Structure 1
Amino acid sequence: MLDHLITHDDNLRMVPTDRNELAAAVGHLQEELRALPEGSDTARARVLTRWIGIAQLCLGHHDEARTSLRQSLELAVTIGNSRAVVATGLNLGDAHRYAGDVRGADALYRSALITARYHHPELMDFALQHTGKHLMECGDPAGARAHLQEALRLRIAKGDAELVKSTQAALERVELLISQADASATGHAVPGQWSRQWTAWLQSRITTRTPSRWAQDFPTVRYAVAGLTAHQRVHPCHLRDQSFPSALLTAMAEEAEKAVAADGYLHNGKWNAATLDAVSLFVGQVDLADVVSRSSGLAVEPPHTAVYIAYEEGQRLDFHLDEFGFGEANLILCLKHERPAELPRASTTVFLTADSYLECDLAAGDCIVFDGALTPHGRTPLSAGESVTLVCFGFRAREQDSRTVTHLPPVPSGRAALGRPESAPAPRCATLCGHAGN
């Protein structure tokens, strides 16, 4: 209604494109609202009060904005429009945030997140975006980044370029704040830059494309990788005996296939898609946090994010590090792995450790727990007739100390210091195996 009169400033807050024009537009909306016979058109009154509140917020009239938006929220509740409850709740949260009421804003954002998650998942990206900005202003850049990364994933899946651009701008702002706060203290690149630089270095020296070359290429990276391994919060562990309910696995596999077909997007050479109801049901019935904690020794909270991943013939994923916002622990669960019976070599999930490659051939129901931010990992190419469907969950450590990694090993700058001494043993390849908790 007034979108064309609103933009964002350098701090990502809403401001008028033309203050006088926006003020005049507010006057027209107020006249229309006053002209409505009392109780005659509650739905229209809700829309008008919402936009009046948003405009007043942009104009800096915080008290008036909160009054109008609270009225709109009450009208949304009265008529049972839960979608409007989420949207207006986020606007009212902004009004409290802009006015400096951190506690009031936090309560409104959290409420909107919960309602969106369980009743309107199509609004989750908006709830995550607004909450991320709130956390950024509250001095929690790590939390802000996690929320905004999830919002970006959902918005890429939606395919809305403007929404993607908005979230990318917020993420860039968060990374800048982290850089300003951390660069002088650590002397290293900030985590997001650090992860991307390490990934670029790894991919310039070694690849999952040709496993036959691993023994030849591994000496160029093994000593650098050893520095990463020393910081891992979770070591890779392949779990085969979890006995997850087969009906839930089947439901997720079917949902993943539909999600990839309808809204999948290519990311790093594979298909990604947003998770939906089947994953929510699975997480509600299976204590994944307990699975991760028992297998790794790291106490974690329930998963805060998840994504479907699908590979088809010829696709692969080169060695890389995840960004820290995905969590201190990852769990990859295989939903389906189809392959011809005569296939000589199946595609595997593969990890780089200090002294070897660890390959994991996942079957449906198998899962791997690992630290994606500090363990180089990837997938070897799929052969003809092969396909793989996975769901990946991100977990945060319960203890704050485990969430913070200091003295990150610097990205190597050259090859000379990384070559394998003549006395060093040749690298070995191993199949990742073992069972958790016994």
Structure 2
Amino acid sequence: MLQHLIRQDENLRMVPIDRAELTTALNGLREELATGPDPDRVRVLTRWIGIAQMSLGDYDEAHAFLRWSLELAITSGNVRAIVATELNFGDAHRYAGDIETAETFYRSAMDTARGQCPELLDFALQHFGKHLMERGDLTGARTHLQEALRLRITKGNTELVESTQAALDRVDALVGNAVVAPDEWSREWTTWLQAHTTVSDPTRWHDDLTAVRGAVQSLAVHQRVQPRHLWDQPFPTELVAAMAAEAEQVLAADGYRHNGKRNAAVGDAANRFAARVDLAAIVARSTGLDVEQPHTGVYIGYTEGQFLDFHMDDAGFGEANLIICLARTRRAGTAKASTTVFISAAGYLECDLDTGCGVVFDGALTPHGRTRLGVGESVTLISLGFRARDRERRVLANLPPVPA
């Protein structure tokens, strides 16, 4: 419908051939949608409006229309439409930096295609291969793209074959140039950090502090944000309480294990909080980094005995991370509570977050974790990711190598 107005850029992402022309065509689809066509036409229109908005960089609008289209596809039982729209939804989240949600949609589309819609399996493999390439998993990317290529050669569609070959060429170029994608670099740094220190046993924190401090000094020069405890921000208590209640519910019902604690997607309470509080302004004032409103968020729950070892976040989460404590319990008389811990060039920094307080930092370039929770202790947090308005600040280049 709008294919002729969209191309792939050097990173194999969809962008307009002519922004004004795509915007005009998009407005035409919106006008048709307003006439109230039949549900099947609504599904098609909302999907292409979502694709166009994604290509134009308006990810919130893209998410809204793709969600609408996917709901209609599910209601009608149109398996082809479900797979195709899940792939578009995955792209929209990937482009916006929400890596985990993107992967959920890609895997769902691949599973459905393998079982019920094999004619779209090559598309699912292609999209997931690009996702893995951006995450730095070049081996996994090549495996999926090669499977897609075999299927497309069998189809005999030259245009599709060329598209997959271009993606494979991109993977080969990354491997040949020894380019380490930011997310792979983060994982390698995490592995090194956890081999030299651990949050779980504070007596080990200083075992090899000289080596750790020297390594972290090489990271500090690249950090966009320095850790800062936001204890003085008057977040509305009723909004914090509403998020705490929502987090408790979704962590229990839909939470998933991740790095030793439970995570869950944020919901309406978090969206209301972000709509009422100018979080971008708070982060900008606190850090000096001009950021957009949060593009992603996750609830995190810790219970007795759990901890989060030192690690670095995937770059896609954002240039600034804001963690806010929503609720916490601890046994009276406990000598020391669990804290958020950072490693800086000066050593270890602990941040004890009370309910309604936060800490902002650059999770992709600042090693961080949480100390072990004591008997009867629990902590519920929300973690929000912010993108810099200056797109050049989003690019991680000349990253310091992982220590040998």
- TM-score (norm: length of structure 2): 0.70
Moved more, 253-262 or 211-220: 211-220
Query: Which one of 316, 328, 332 corresponds to residue 325 of structure 1?
Result: 316
Query: Which one of 363, 384, 387 corresponds to residue 372 of structure 1?
Result: 363
Query: Which one of 295, 305, 308 corresponds to residue 286 of structure 2?
Result: 295
Deviations 1:360-393 (A, max 9, x none): 1111011000000000000011111000000000
- Is it true that 1:114 corresponds to 2:64 in the alignment? yes
Q: For residue 103 of structure 2, what is the aligned residue in structure 1? A: 152
Q: For residue 88 of structure 1, what is the aligned residue in structure 2? A: 44
- Is it true that 1:363 corresponds to 2:354 in the alignment? yes
Give how far 1:76 is off.
9.9
SS at structure 1 position matched to 2:206: helix
- Identical aligned residues as a percent: 44
Alignment root-mean-square deviation, CA = 3.9
Query: Which one of 180, 188, 199 corresponds to residue 197 of structure 1?
Result: 188
CA distance in 2, matches of 1:391, 1:119: 29
Q: For residue 172 of structure 1, what is the aligned residue in structure 2? A: 132
Please, which runs of 5 or more residues in structure 2 have no aligned partner? 1-11, 13-28, 75-81, 115-123, 139-166
Q: For residue 245 of structure 2, what is the aligned residue in structure 1? A: 254
AA partner of residue 235 (structure 1): Q
Change (3 A) 1:316 1:396: same
Contact 1:272 1:307 in 2 (8 A): yes
SS at structure 2 position matched to 1:352: strand
Change (3 A) 1:379 1:168: farther
Give how far 1:114 is off.
2.9
Q: For residue 226 of structure 2, what is the aligned residue in structure 1? A: 235
Give how far 1:333 is off.
0.6
Contact 1:333 1:365 in 2 (8 A): yes
- Whichever of the two has the greater Rg, that structure is 1
SS at structure 1 position matched to 2:196: coil
Query: Which one of 323, 327, 330 corresponds to residue 336 of structure 1?
Result: 327
AA partner of residue 201 (structure 2): T
Moved more, 119-128 or 258-267: 119-128
SS at structure 2 position matched to 1:260: helix
Change (3 A) 1:89 1:149: farther
Please, which runs of 5 or more residues in structure 1 have no aligned partner? 1-11, 13-69, 136-142, 414-438
- Is it true that 1:225 corresponds to 2:216 in the alignment? yes
CA distance in 2, matches of 1:121, 1:333: 32
Deviations 1:283-316 (A, max 9, x none): 0000000010000000000000000001011111
AA partner of residue 312 (structure 2): L
**Structure 1 stretches (4+) deviating beyond 6 angstroms?**
102-105, 107-110, 117-128
Q: For residue 30 of structure 1, what is the aligned residue in structure 2? A: none
Deviations 1:242-276 (A, max 9, x none): 11111000000000000001100000101000000
AA partner of residue 132 (structure 2): E
Change (3 A) 1:147 1:359: closer
